[in-house]
């Protein structure tokens, strides 16, 4: 028998637990604050927010499982016929205190309709305030390893998808160094539903080791006021992406989701300064030059 929704929901819950534990441990100070919420139409969520830690300034690791009747507008947008739905997943955004530690985002989700239609979706992407090539290489290699276990086409396809998705057209720059992004993933000739679920689990399980490694590696690096200011500017771009382009955010705002859980992705402080110019040869300029699509991070010499 194929994997059932209860098993998926349970696994997402346990993923939230294990990630929160790993982040608290590496942070060493802050604890997640938990809020349960219910959705009037059915289901609800477990929002967990961490603030003012040693390493983490603000972050959310949110689980939700909402169900009920899909509004017609969204049925049309999704191109589906059935209207009783379940949407469950874990959504994470972490903003660290130090500009030397990257911002990270992860989402893993499962969607099911009463007529049996279902799909998985998700992704991880990294937004360093300063791009460190070795970190970018490591990050993409980890994701490639997870992908390659299931399908050799996954990494190139999902890496390009992330490049295209996490892009800010009005700035002509990517949000960060990308990662992987996938949607509407379901069983095929190659993979069963169980195998797709295993892939999603592996993506989810990759998060904590990757991010706690970056926390540990960079948390004690010094930084100056100029670097802190640059971080606030990069966070401003993060806000621009999330409020203007991010489909999950738009979906949440349009469907009157729990606003505080949706907008947990926004940083505690962000800055907009007029017409910021940086020297091409500066660390900021070099980072900007790498915020573009199509970079082969796994092998920069390729």
Kindly state whether residue 226 participates in binding its own copies, applying the rule CB under 8 A: no
The residue written with tokens 């959705």 in the block is 39
In the shown chain, the binding pattern of residues 138 to 177 toward its own copies, with x for contact by CB under 8 A and - for none, equals -------------------------------xxx------
Residues numbered 24 to 63 that lie near its own copies (CB under 8 A) are 33, 35, 49, 51, 58, 60
Contact between residue 282 and residue 83 where contact means Cβ atoms under 8 Å apart: no
Instruction: Kindly tell me which of 50 and 177 has the beta carbon lying closer to its own copies.
Output: 50
Instruction: Kindly tell me which of 80 and 278 has the beta carbon lying closer to its own copies.
Output: 278
What is the Cα–Cα distance from 49 to 31, expressed in whole angstroms?
8
| Catalytic entry in 105, 129, 140, 218 | 105
CB of 257 to its own copies, least distance (A): 9
Instruction: Kindly tell me which of 216 and 269 has the beta carbon lying closer to its own copies.
Output: 269
Kindly state whether residue 244 participates in binding its own copies, applying the rule CB under 8 A: yes
CB of 37 to its own copies, least distance (A): 10
CB of 192 to its own copies, least distance (A): 39
Q: Which residues lie across from 207 on neighbouring strands?
A: none
Contact between residue 201 and residue 185 where contact means Cβ atoms under 8 Å apart: no
Contact between residue 69 and residue 41 where contact means Cβ atoms under 8 Å apart: yes
Question: How large is the greatest C-alpha to C-alpha distance in the chain, in angstroms?
Answer: 59
Q: Where are the beta strands (DSSP E) in 52-207?
A: 56-69, 84-96, 103-113, 118-127, 167-168, 173-174, 179-185
Torsion of CA 231, 207, 244, 50, to 10 degrees: -60
Instruction: Kindly tell me which of 60 and 204 has the beta carbon lying closer to its own copies.
Output: 60
Contacts with its own copies by CB under 8 A lie at 33, 35, 49, 51, 58, 60, 169-171, 232, 236, 239-240, 243-244, 253, 256, 259-260, 263-264, 266-275
């Amino acid at each position: 028998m194929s994997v059932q929704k209860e098993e998926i929901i349970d696994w997402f819950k346990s993923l939230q637990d294990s990630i929160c534990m790993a982040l608290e441990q590496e942070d060493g100070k802050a604890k997640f604050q938990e809020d349960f919420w219910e959705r009037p139409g059915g289901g609800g969520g477990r929002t967990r927010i961490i603030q003012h830690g040693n390493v983490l300034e603000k972050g959310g690791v949110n689980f939700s499982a909402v169900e009920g009747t899909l509004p017609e507008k969204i049925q049309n947008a999704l191109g589906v016929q059935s209207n009783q739905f379940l949407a469950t997943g874990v959504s994470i955004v972490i903003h660290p205190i130090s500009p030397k530690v990257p911002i990270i985002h992860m989402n893993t989700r499962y969607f099911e309709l009463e007529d049996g239609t279902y799909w998985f979706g998700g992704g991880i992407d990294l937004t360093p305030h300063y791009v460190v090539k070795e970190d970018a290489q490591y990050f993409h290699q980890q994701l490639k390893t997870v992908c390659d276990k299931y399908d050799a086409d996954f990494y190139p396809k999902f890496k390009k998808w992330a490049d295209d998705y996490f892009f800010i057209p009005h700035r002509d720059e990517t949000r960060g160094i990308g990662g992987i992004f996938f949607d509407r993933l379901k069983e095929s000739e190659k993979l069963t539903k169980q195998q797709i679920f295993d892939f999603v689990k592996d993506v989810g399980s990759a998060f904590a080791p990757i991010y706690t490694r970056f926390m540990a590696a960079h948390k004690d690096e010094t930084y100056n006021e100029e670097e802190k200011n640059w971080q606030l500017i990069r966070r401003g771009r993060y806000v621009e992406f999330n409020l203007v382009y991010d489909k999950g955010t738009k979906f949440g705002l349009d469907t009157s989701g729990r606003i505080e859980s949706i907008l947990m992705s926004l940083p505690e402080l962000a800055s907009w300064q007029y017409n910021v110019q940086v020297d091409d040869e500066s660390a900021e300029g070099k980072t900007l030059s790498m915020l573009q699509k199509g970079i082969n991070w796994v092998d920069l010499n390729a």
